[in-house]
Structure 1
Amino acid sequence: MAFEQPYRIVVAGGGTAGWMTAAALVRFLGPGFSIVLVESEAIGTVGVGEATIPQIRLFNAGLGIDENAFIAATQASFKLGIEFVGWTKGGRYMHAFGDVGRDNGGVAFQHSWLRGLAEGVAEPLAAYSLNNAAALSNRMQRGPARTAQMLPEMPYAFHFDAGLYARFLRNYAEARGVTRHEGKIVEVLRGGESGDVTALRLDGDRSIEGDLFIDCTGFRGLLIAETLGVEFEDWSHWLPCDRALAVPSARARDFTPYTRATAHSAGWQWRIPLQHRTGNGIVYSSAHLSDDEAASRLLANLDEPALAEPRALRFTAGKRKAFWQANVIAVGLASGFLEPLESTSIHLIQSAIERILKLLPGRRISDAQRAEYDRQTNLELDRIRDFLILHYWANDRDEPFWHARRETPLPEGLAHKIELWRACGQIVREDADLFSEVAWLQVLAGQGIAAEGYHPLADQPASGQIAEYLDLLAKLTAREVAQMPDHAAFIRQHCAAREDIAA
């Protein structure tokens, strides 16, 4: 695509969303494009998106970022999954990344496992997950399995300081030609007939003109909502938590390679270990828990002393009714909000950037491009929403908040998925579903939803064979984990930001 004048893309807002967008655009677009980012140091960012999923590695690799340098610069640790504590009475389980077990011929592993449970020869699902076993042992390795070729390579993500990541990407982007303008946006200028945004007027009577604008202004949605009037679709009847408090605490002695999400009477609390501190937060429904009660509960359940006062966030779960309006595309919190229960916030920024690059318009934007962008975004958000709802709905807690979650009617697609699992142990991955069949398996089983049957082909091996097969998988997994180095020692050796990382 060649232009007589550079095609001007203006990113409104910094933070993780803005600098991820600017870095990717300058990396993948040619010299016919100019990338400008506008942000104000006076406007804070949410900055609690510290846990990620494995796709972040693809983003960083695409930018050509050295992983060890990134980990050191962002005070990161490794993440092998998310442990859920107390979502059912006294229960805990992990949604670990990667495979669970191994398919037996054409039969998905869960059917062999379900048969094994019925015959009393299967261990808990966690025994067949390399990531799960490694996480609970505080161990970490990269690359192929060392002790058995049939075991998979462990996928992993990161916990990192979102502010440091934004700074890291800012340095990357500016070094490659992104122009940053410091200042508050005081007016959004629009064209007469088209209604397109033509420029952003900044304090100090400066004007930044552009052809395409990316709205990374957070919950406010300065361009997509306040200027273009795109409405918000409220999902709080399914996901009613509307408040969060975030607070850092001192570096954890229990330096785990996983995130922890612990349920409480009106929501849940997160724990994210970094090299220099631990990120903590409490997510809750203000209809069931006061702000003061939430703060007391959060501070009472920290592993180490708090390093600051809790910072309050208010939000509504949901999405914009359009994500690309006129010549404005909303990215990050400007496009909607899904609570960080499954660490999808940064991934949604990443997937939005990928869609922008694939559907990048020329001087003229077609309705078909906007429609396709919105179609893909809606599918992705709807599938993630359903996965989050599952955690809340499948509970057996006694508090009013949790009773209401069980009684709320489910979206049709989620209800069908649960019914199919219960009937025959089948899990079908739908179009644009971020989460794999194995991810759904771990949450369905972990939340105590029992399958009443399994695929008939799982009955073909003799009883002794199925027991031997399951036992072998569990033993191979345990042996592989036993030779892995400690998580903290692994970081010290390869990518520490400081020498005194927890031993």
Structure 2
Amino acid sequence: MRHDQRGEFDVGTHRIRKVVVAGGGTAGWIAASALAYQLKDQLEVTLVESSAIATVGVGEATVPPIRNFHRFMNIDEQEFLRAVAGTFKLSISFENFVRPGHRYIHPFGITGKGTLVAGFEHFWLDSLRRGMKSELHNYSLEAMASLGNQFALTDEPEINYAYHMDAALYVKFLREKFQPCGIRQIDGKIKEVRQHPESGYVEALVLEGGQVIEGDLFIDCTGFRGLLIEQTLETGYEDWHNWLPCDRAIALQTKSVDPSPVPYTRAIAHEAGWRWHIPVQHRVGCGLVYDSRHMSDDEAQAKLLRDVGAEPVRDPWPVRFRTGRRLKAWNKNVVALGLASGFIEPLESTSIHLAMSAVMQLVELFPSEGIPDSLVRIYNDNCRRELEHVRDFIILHYHANQRDEPMWKGCREMSLPDSLQIRIDAWRDRAHVWRDQSELFATTSWIHVLLGQGVMPKQHHPLPRELSDADLRRLLDSIRGPIDRAVPRMPLQQVFIDRYCKAAPEVWNMKRPTATA
């Protein structure tokens, strides 16, 4: 921490040369790696983590923008996948969300082809009006490959994908690859956070052994407790539990029983929440998310062990959470990342993405010669909008349901955020969907989930009515044809993995890190 000649703190001239990351885990190592790699000649990056504190360690599914982050970091895909025992993810399969026995696919990528004024969904909806039978997912390469348990890297049509990965191995991969960029790693538990007596800016972390770690900018990756952003700076928290009812999870890892891992995440609803199923090369990550008002911890664990259908490779472990966000992701000279900045449950696999997105934005806005209020306000506003967009998308999965259980009935009857209500109304009234530039989920994602959850529009754009039946069929066939030809040529995902990114058994058999802060 630097002061002027009189010893007073001056925000405007607070040069940032020492960055301290409080906490390891996925978010901590993403932050340290990105800052050290991108600004390696300008910063000293120190990461403080305690091997005595375990990570939450349940997030193993990602969304396609992880590939942008890896390009940003010059990470080779095959090297990464071998190191993390990774598999490919083309979609999410939502099972029982509308009602028991119902299933739909939320695929990545583009579905169909539309015009500047009318998206493909309007042409497809008009084909249904005319009695032409098809499913929207028939026009998605990712959906059709998912249903066949197939994967390949294709250009015609281009495939869009994400990954399933072992999160602990990902931390190890980042540490080994980017620590040589100048990351100083310290194993220790934080005992005290020192602040400037006048400004309140954080000056140093004091460890239990007495070591003092000084810094100019601090990245809080201490998980739900938010040691710096909340316990020290008392930033405040906006609670979203009234919209997202689940507040607990039981996580588990099991042996693989399928001959080929599926190229999608399974989300399987139950009477008080939902269960995830995420295959990596050597095992499956499972977990039960639930509302503790409608299911006890013992009931949740028993249900998970009963439903997974495979032998556990470790004991289940509980996770308690509170959905919402910090009122500021950046407060004074502390930037909160990962669980410390807020939490939206893992229904659409967004946690790792939100950490990566925030870090890339921090690098873009990095305050090397001071911390101007303008940049802090921009950063906080962008983080707020991104979290709210994801929040609304997740709420949709809960709200639009036809289930009879008390939790689901309550979700169906709850008042929605205005930002989500207007989206649903616009879709119901005229099949209209829009997307802000900062949003993670594309319009096609909203369309698949709206239709998948049973939200049908009353009408759609009139433009498709200009086409004759023959012309509309030709349009649909021109889109579906390349997909129908491409998918049969794709191998099963396991076959593709064996030749492209097979991890050696010693990768997942070695002792893995569990530290956070």
Same fold by TM-score greater than 0.5: yes
Match of 2:275 among 257, 269, 276: 269
Give the deviation of 1:116 after TM superposition.
Answer: 0.7
1:5: how far off?
8.8
- Which residue of 50, 53, 59 corresponds with 1:43? 53
Deviation at 1:4, TM superposition (A): 12
Q: Hey, what does 1:162 align to over in structure 2?
A: 167
Q: Deviations over 1:103-128 (max 9, x none)?
A: 15753100000001111114011111
**Separation in structure 1 between the aligned mates of residue 402 and residue 480 of structure 2, nearest angstrom:** 29
Aligned to 1:196: 201
Q: For residues 415-450 of structure 1, what are the alpha-carbon distances to aligned partners after superposition, in whole Å with 9 as ceiling and x for unaligned? A: 111111111111111352211100000000100100
- Alpha-carbon shift at residue 41 of structure 1 (Å): 0.6
Partner Cα separation in structure 2 for residue 141 and residue 356 of structure 1:
34
User: Is 1:95 matched with 2:106?
Assistant: yes
Amino acid at match of 1:40: S
How far did residue 252 of structure 1 move?
Answer: 3.5
1:474 alignment partner in structure 2: 480
Match of 2:360 among 354, 357, 370: 354
Provide the rounded CA distance (Å) in 1 between the counterparts of 2:325 and 2:442. Answer: 23
Structure 1 equivalent of residue 119 of structure 2: 108
The 1:246–1:4 alpha-carbon spacing in structure 2 relative to 1, beyond 3 Å, is closer
Q: Paired residue for 2:135?
A: 124
Measured after TM superposition, the shift of residue 474 of structure 1 is 2.5
| SS of aligned partner of 2:163 | strand
| 469, 476, 489: which one aligns with 1:463 | 469
- Structure 2: which amino acid aligns with 1:366? P
Let me know the Cα RMSD of the aligned residues: 1.7
Tell me if the contact between 1:269 and 1:282 (Cα under 8 Å) persists in the aligned partners: yes
| Aligned equivalents of 1:66, 1:468: Cα separation in 2 | 40
Say if 1:50 and 1:159, in contact at 8 Å, map to a contact too.
Answer: yes
- Report sequence identity in percent: 45
Q: C-alpha deviations, 1:326-357, integer Å up to 9, x for none?
A: 10000000000100000000000011101211
Which residue does the alignment assign to 1:439?
445
1:148 alignment partner in structure 2: none
| Residue aligned with 1:94, SS | strand
1:102 alignment partner, SS class: coil
Aligned to 2:26: 16
Distance, in Å, in 2 between the alignment partners of 1:421 and 1:4 is 49
Task: Supply the distance in 2 between the matched residues of 1:189 and 1:104 (Cα, whole angstroms).
Answer: 57
From 81, 95, 110, give the equivalent of 2:91: 81
Partner AA of 2:30 in structure 1: M
Aligned ranges 1:126-165 → 2 under 5 Å: 126-145=137-156, 151=157, 153-165=158-170
Within 2, Cα distance between the matches of 1:351 and 1:263? Answer: 28
Give 1:467 deviation, angstroms: 2.2
Given the alignment, which residue of 488, 491, 494 partners 2:497?
491
Q: Does the 8 A contact of 1:252 with 1:273 survive in 2?
A: no
Shift in alpha-carbon separation, 1:371–1:388, aligned structure 2, 3 A:
same
Given residue 215 of structure 1, which amino acid in structure 2 is its aligned partner? Answer: D
Residue 420 of structure 1 is matched in structure 2 by 426
Equivalent-residue separation in structure 2 for 1:494 and 1:423 (angstroms): 47
- 1:320-331 aligned within 5 A: 320-331=326-337
> Are the counterparts in 2 of residues 275 and 497 from structure 1 also a CA contact under 8 Å?
yes
TM-score (norm 2): 0.93
Which one-letter code corresponds to 2:499 in the other structure? Q
The 8 Å contact of residues 40 and 182 in structure 2, kept in 1 or not, is answered as: no
Q: Deviations along 1:161-200, whole A, 9 cap, x unmatched? A: 1111011101122111110011000000111211110000
The answer to whether the Cα contact below 8 Å between 1:122 and 1:470 also exists between their aligned partners in 2 is: no
Question: Could you give the per-residue CA deviations for residues 291-346 of structure 1, whole angstroms, max 9, x where no partner exists?
Answer: 11111111111132111221000011100111111100000000001000000000
Distance 1:130 1:29 in 2: 39
When the two structures are aligned, how many residues end up with a matched partner?
493
Q: 1:113 is aligned with what amino acid?
A: W
Match of 2:242 among 237, 247, 253: 237
Amino acid at match of 2:234: G
What is the match of residue 263 of structure 2?
A: 257
- Distance in 1 (CA, whole Å) between partners of 2:264 and 2:482 is 22
| One-letter amino acid of the structure 1 residue matched with residue 122 of structure 2 | H
Q: Which residue of 2 aligns with 1:405?
A: 411
Q: For structure 1, which runs of at least 5 residues remain unmatched after alignment?
A: 146-150
Counterpart contact for 1:250–1:276, Cα < 8 Å: yes
3-state DSSP of counterpart to 1:31: coil
Report the AA paired with residue 206 of structure 2: R
Single out whichever of 372-381 and 248-257 deviates more from structure 2: 248-257
SS in 1 for 2:252: strand
Assess if the C-alpha contact under 8 Å between 2:14 and 2:369 holds in 1: no
Moved over 4 A (4+): 3-6
